[in-house]
């Protein structure tokens, strides 16, 4: 959006997939508050309310300037009464009582801590909360039954709470590329999720893998994870097989966010020295020598260990579905949700990470690029860096 002009005169489209939403915007003082209420609604199993607050926040992210008065909100879509009340209070008093009491509440804090454990969803966290448990420590102390995923989640909790940096993501990219090419030369690997949208940090690193010869990608994941295991690079992995069958699943699944690709939820063991080397690998010889110096044993003693745990998601897609998978795994989550809603409500189509089905023509629309998919949907192409809805 252009930085000049009257924002009230600017036409704000109502679906997030019709708008350009940059990573950095002018209204985080409002969007953070609304997102706390959204998160809290999710913890209370109120999806409708959660999405409403998230949509309201997303509209403010797309504004070309900071909101200074309620006047600035005239003509904006997706701002319900409740969101407007919260915004008004923040504009007038600097904060909202509802947001602050939510932030401080025992339930919000415990649910945040518990759902922050890899492998723990809202349902499980809520059950634990009602049993009086508040943190990962409480789970260990009371000897809760945990599945394999949750055990890893508790074991690496501190590391997995730390944001993953772009430099770390780049090192992981090199490792994944090496692993994939070792087991299937010619395969293509793409960084997905938040890092593809230009984020500087993330909660994990997401990759999409394919091969130009359809069929070559079948059964690829176990080969990749075996290679990584042999190199001692995997702390945890769980692979689910590809279960997508166009005829059987059809377009009905498109409303669900879950897809059926061969997929691996994993935790990598990342050597910290690899990250400092990588950060200086494009630098001059002088910089490289300082990087080596920082690797002296003395420096390393300040850290508990020479490695950290990092969450990595790997997805394998057949070449014919690669464009859909790319669009589906770039995010943001709200952008994806809005794309599917747009397709269904406005175009009588159903979009998934596998395919686009046109219900009027009764056929699947093939696409090789994201651009083609936006065109089918009658949407202006939005680049990944502006999908931060
Ligand atoms: P951070 O990792 O927190 O930085 O943000 P992110 O946007 O990368 O989120 P995340 O890694 O959770 O998800 C990346 C993208 O993959 C998002 O657009 C999600 O909607 C999408 N995604 C996650 N899980 C699934 C899934 O099971 N199926 C499909 N189709 N998409 C998924
Ligand atoms: Mn991610
Ligand atoms: Mn992910």
Q: Is the CB of 328 under 6 A from ligand 1?
A: yes
Residues 69-101: pLDDT tens digits?
999 999 999 999 999 999 999 999 999 999 999
Identify whether residues 112 and 22 lie together within a single domain. Answer: no
Identify whether residues 174 and 308 lie together within a single domain. Answer: yes
Residue 185: the pLDDT is 98
Question: CA–CA distance from 248 to each of 142, 214, 244, 251, 252 (Å)?
Answer: 45, 20, 8, 9, 10
Position 251 in a domain? yes
d(CA 237, CA 156): 13
Determine the longest span between alpha carbons in the chain, in angstroms: 68
Side-chain-side CA neighbours of 261 within 13 Å: the count stands at 32
Identify whether residues 29 and 124 lie together within a single domain. Answer: no
Which residues are 358's β-sheet partners? 349, 363
- What is the count of structural domains for the chain? 4
Position 377 in a domain? yes
Position 302 in a domain? yes
The β-bridge relationship of strands 349-351 and 205-210 is unpaired
Position 43 in a domain? yes
- Neighbouring CB atoms inside 10 A of 24's CB total 8
**Over 90: is that where the pLDDT of 68 sits?**
yes
Identify whether residues 301 and 340 lie together within a single domain. Answer: no
Say what the pTM is.
Answer: 0.91
Determine the structural domain holding residue 233 and report its residue range. Answer: 161-319
Q: Of 72, 126, 159, 206, which is the active-site residue?
A: 206
The confidence band for 283, taking pLDDT boundaries of 50, 70 and 90, is very low
Identify whether residues 148 and 172 lie together within a single domain. Answer: no
Position 253 in a domain? yes
Residue 259: the pLDDT is 77
Identify whether residues 254 and 217 lie together within a single domain. Answer: yes
Q: Is the CB of 262 under 6 A from ligand 1?
A: no
Position 41 in a domain? yes
Residues 163-191: pLDDT tens digits?
999 999 999 999 999 999 999 999 999 99
Determine whether 204 is an active site residue. yes
Identify whether residues 71 and 12 lie together within a single domain. Answer: yes
Ligand 1, pocket-test mutation among 205, 331, 334, 384, most atoms within 8 A of CB:
331
- Neighbouring CB atoms inside 10 A of 93's CB total 9
Phi, psi dihedrals of residue 9, rounded to the nearest 5°: -85, -15
CB 190 within 8 A of CB 207: yes
Identify whether residues 286 and 202 lie together within a single domain. Answer: yes
Q: Provide mean pLDDT across the span 291-317.
A: 70
Domain CATH code at residue 144 = 1.10.150.20
- The complex's ipTM works out to 0.97
CB 134 within 8 A of CB 221: no
Domain CATH code at residue 362 = 3.30.210.10
Give kind and range of the element (H or E) at residue 55. Answer: helix 47-61
Identify whether residues 328 and 253 lie together within a single domain. Answer: no
Residue 249: the pLDDT is 53
Identify whether residues 333 and 308 lie together within a single domain. Answer: no
Identify whether residues 89 and 138 lie together within a single domain. Answer: no
Which range among 216-220, 246-250, 307-311, 355-359 shows the weakest confidence by mean pLDDT?
A: 246-250
Ligand 1, pocket-test mutation among 54, 58, 193, most atoms within 8 A of CB:
193
Residues 222-276: pLDDT tens digits?
999 999 999 999 999 999 988 887 655 555 444 455 678 899 999 999 999 999 8
Q: Is the CB of 336 under 6 A from ligand 1?
A: yes
Residue 300: the pLDDT is 37
- For residue 303, the 8-state DSSP code is S
Residue 241: the pLDDT is 85
Identify whether residues 300 and 258 lie together within a single domain. Answer: yes
Position 1 in a domain? no
Residue 27: the pLDDT is 98
Position 2 in a domain? no
Q: Which of 190, 269, 194 is nearest to 237 (CA)?
A: 269
């Amino acid at each position: 959006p252009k930085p000049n002009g009257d924002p009230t005169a600017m036409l704000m489209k109502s679906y997030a997939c019709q708008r350009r939403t940059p990573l950095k915007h002018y209204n985080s003082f409002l969007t953070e508050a609304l997102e706390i209420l959204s998160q809290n609604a999710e913890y209370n199993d109120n999806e409708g309310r959660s999405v409403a607050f998230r949509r309201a926040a997303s509209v403010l992210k797309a504004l070309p300037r900071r909101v200074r008065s309620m006047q600035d909100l005239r003509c904006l879509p997706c701002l319900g009464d409740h969101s407007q009340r919260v915004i008004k209070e923040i504009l007038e008093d600097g904060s909202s009582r509802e947001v602050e009491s939510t932030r401080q509440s025992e339930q919000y804090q415990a649910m945040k801590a518990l759902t922050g454990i890899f492998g723990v969803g809202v349902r499980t966290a809520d059950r634990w909360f009602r049993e009086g448990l508040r943190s990962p420590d409480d789970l260990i102390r009371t000897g809760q039954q945990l599945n394999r995923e949750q055990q890893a989640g508790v074991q690496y909790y501190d590391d997995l709470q730390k944001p993953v940096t772009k430099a770390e993501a780049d090192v992981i990219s090199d490792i994944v590329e090496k692993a994939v090419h070792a087991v299937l030369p010619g395969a293509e690997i793409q960084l997905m999720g938040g890092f593809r949208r230009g984020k500087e940090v993330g909660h994990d690193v997401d990759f999409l893998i394919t091969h130009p010869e359809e069929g070559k990608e079948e059964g690829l994941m176990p080969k990749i994870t075996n290679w990584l295991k042999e190199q001692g690079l995997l702390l945890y992995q769980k692979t689910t097989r590809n279960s997508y069958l166009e005829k059987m699943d059809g377009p009905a699944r498109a409303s669900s966010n879950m897809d059926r690709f061969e997929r691996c939820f994993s935790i990598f063991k990342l050597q910290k020295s690899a990250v400092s080397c990588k950060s200086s690998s494009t630098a001059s010889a002088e910089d490289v020598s300082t990087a080596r110096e920082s690797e002296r044993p003395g420096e390393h003693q300040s850290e508990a260990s020479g490695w950290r745990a990092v969450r990595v998601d790997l997805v394998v897609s057949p070449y014919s579905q690669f464009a859909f998978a790319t669009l589906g795994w770039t995010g943001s989550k709200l952008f994806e949700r809005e794309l599917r809603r747009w397709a269904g409500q406005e175009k009588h189509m159903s979009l998934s990470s596998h395919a686009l089905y046109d219900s009027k023509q009764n056929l699947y629309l093939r696409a090789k690029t994201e651009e083609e998919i936006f065109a089918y949907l009658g949407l202006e192409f939005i680049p990944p860096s502006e999908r931060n809805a």
